[in-house]
Amino acid sequence: MMGVIVLLHRWLGIAFCLLFAMWFATGIVMHFVPFPSLTEAERFAGLGTVDRAQVTISATDAVVASGIAESTRVRLIQRSDGPVYVVSGASLVRAVRASDGAVASATSAELALAIAQDHARNRGLDAMGATILAQADYDQWIVPNGFDRHRPQFRVALGDAAGTEVYVSSRTGEIVLDTTRRERSWNMVGSVLHWIYPTVLRSNWALWDRVVWTLSLLALIAAVLGAALGIARIRIRKRRISSPYRGWHALHHLIGLAAMVFVLTWIFSGWLSMDHGRLFSRGQLSAIEAGMTNASPDWTTAASLDRKPISSAAREVEWFAFNGNLYRRERIGLGEQALIGAGEAARSGRTGFLNAREVQGLTMRFAVGCDLPSVLAGDDDYPAQSIIPGAPVYRSRCGDLWFDIDGADGRVLQRLDSSRRAYRWFYGALHTLDFPVLLARPRLRDALIVGFCMLGLMFSVTGAVIGWRRLRSSVVARVSSANAPAGRG
């Protein structure tokens, strides 16, 4: 049995030692430079004040004009060519002009460039030298599935000192992503390598999922076999752990023993990052729950909301359905909104959000016996954040099933059953060390992540050296055997 373990570990190690080294090195980079995204603060900063004088049709008219029968949300934003309504359904999104209901897709390069320049100016970025670089369905930074409804997109270089590039949705004309030169450079040696994320592979999600899941599983098997072999080869001399090996083999053995717990838990949790419902629940609403949450409202009731005029300071207005009722919310500032429910006065300030009773009204339809929702603490073991800083996130406990709902816009942020709560620890905590005690001490967490990854990197490098030497000696032996003179009969 030990001979089989040695053989499997040897050849799996030769195959995966460089992959291990790459994962540990890029893991350090990813901890400090995450994959590029447009943060909510950046997105909101790029919005202009809505020109109410040009808004001549209602949200209800916009829904009709969009042709999306099962629309659930409508947003009003200001673009460089005037205000537009962005109508969203389960899988579709369309923009229509707020002046006449005409289709407002951003299909021309000139419009996309103007929108990008407007966004940049609102954020205080230099866009004097902005140029269109490309229009594409996919490139290295827009491969995630969340961008599907916005494809194709225009990539616009602002020409500023930071090398900022923004992506304009051809469907809605919104800015959906920005990257800087620094982010792109570090991510090429960080996330792109770590996730095995070349565009040609990642653009096919199912293929990418199978490839990375399989590689991660084989890597985990190699690590487990190595741990078993390393423990079996331990020697105790004068009350000290020693290795029967010499040179690089001994170094690999001893560093492996020191790093064993971290390597195993990190590779295991990394494999779980590709779980996608294979072993643990996905944290998504069931079909019935999603149907209740995303049911299309009676848009004719929006007229009662529109009797109160839109604020002159509004930079985004959204109509959304929650538990069968229609609401309108106006974004005044990054952390400030006004909320209006049908037939009620406007709420603003600390009360400008959904309340616990309204949230309970929805979750009671999901399950029986739901407690009155409580506001989630900032240091909760199962964190969730509102789209608006400081807005409440409500947790409704329905027995073993928990729902986290954003008090700002009514979205269900998390569905936590016992499987999903376990996944939070087996994946999130083990892979990113986001234990609450370490989150409260970020410098200590940084040091531990860098230190452990460096230890794993050294371990992987020793394995690579051993693997290279074994391969080289094997090749030399084969060549020598092939060149040896034939024996006499």
* Rounded Cα gap, residues 353 and 407, in angstroms: 5
Report the predicted TM-score, pTM, of the whole model to 2 decimal places: 0.92
* Rounded Cα gap, residues 350 and 286, in angstroms: 32
> Does the pLDDT of residue 108 top 60, yes or no?
yes
Q: What are phi and psi of 71, to 5 degrees?
A: -70, 140
User: Greater confidence, 426 or 489?
Assistant: 426
- Per-residue pLDDT reduced to its tens digit, 357-414: 999 999 999 998 899 999 999 899 999 999 999 999 999 999 999 999 999 999 999 9
> Does the pLDDT of residue 301 top 90, yes or no?
no
Say whether the peptide bond before residue 36 is cis (omega within 30 degrees of 0).
no
Residue 3 lies in a domain: yes
Contact in structure between 334 and 388 (CB atoms under 8 Å): yes
pLDDT of residue 385: 95
pLDDT of residue 351: 84
> Does the pLDDT of residue 109 top 50, yes or no?
yes
**Residue 422: CA atoms inside 13 Å, Cβ hemisphere, count?**
10
Over residues 140-169, mean pLDDT: 97
Alpha-helix runs per DSSP H in 367-441: 418-423, 430-432, 436-439
* Rounded Cα gap, residues 401 and 414, in angstroms: 10
- Per-residue pLDDT reduced to its tens digit, 32-80: 999 999 999 999 999 999 999 999 999 999 999 999 988 999 999 999 9
- Per-residue pLDDT reduced to its tens digit, 344-359: 778 888 789 999 999 9
- Per-residue pLDDT reduced to its tens digit, 178-221: 999 999 999 999 999 999 999 999 999 999 999 999 999 999 99
Q: What is the pLDDT confidence band of residue 263, given thresholds at 50, 70 and 90?
A: very high
Long-range pairs, 273-276, Cβ under 8 A, ≥24: 273/216, 273/427, 273/431, 274/209, 274/212, 274/213, 274/216, 275/423, 275/427, 276/209, 276/213
pLDDT of residue 78: 98
71 three-state secondary structure: coil
Range of the domain at 430: 1-33+190-283+417-475
Q: What is the pLDDT confidence band of residue 486, given thresholds at 50, 70 and 90?
A: low
Q: What is the pLDDT confidence band of residue 482, given thresholds at 50, 70 and 90?
A: confident
* Rounded Cα gap, residues 219 and 268, in angstroms: 9
pLDDT of residue 487: 55
> Does the pLDDT of residue 341 top 80, yes or no?
yes
Please give the tally of structural domains in the chain. Answer: 1
Residue 81 lies in a domain: no
Residue 426 lies in a domain: yes
Residue 103 DSSP code: B
Contact in structure between 177 and 141 (CB atoms under 8 Å): yes
Residue 117 lies in a domain: no
**Residue 136 to residues 1, 132, 153, 170: CA-CA distances in angstroms?**
54, 11, 6, 10
Would you put residue 270 in left (φ > 0), alpha (ψ -120 to 50) or beta? alpha
pLDDT of residue 429: 96
Contact in structure between 190 and 36 (CB atoms under 8 Å): no
Residue 73 lies in a domain: no
pLDDT of residue 238: 79
pLDDT of residue 489: 44
Over residues 108-120, mean pLDDT: 98
Residue 222 lies in a domain: yes
* Rounded Cα gap, residues 195 and 23, in angstroms: 9
Mean per-residue pLDDT over the chain, rounded: 94
Residue 151 lies in a domain: no
313 three-state secondary structure: coil
> Does the pLDDT of residue 416 top 70, yes or no?
yes
**Residue 274 to residues 73, 147, 208, 305: CA-CA distances in angstroms?**
31, 19, 10, 44
* Rounded Cα gap, residues 229 and 468, in angstroms: 20
Burial of 396 (0-12, 13-18, 19+ CB in 10 A): buried
pLDDT of residue 1: 78
Contact in structure between 196 and 208 (CB atoms under 8 Å): yes
Question: How many Cβ atoms are within 10 Å of 290's Cβ, its own excluded?
Answer: 14
Give 3-state DSSP helix, strand, coil % of the chain, rounded to 5.
45, 20, 35
Residue 200 lies in a domain: yes
Highest-scoring range by mean pLDDT, 233-242, 270-279, 295-304: 270-279
DSSP string, 250-282: HHHHHHHHHHHHHHHHHHHHHHHTT-TTSSS--
> Does the pLDDT of residue 479 top 80, yes or no?
no
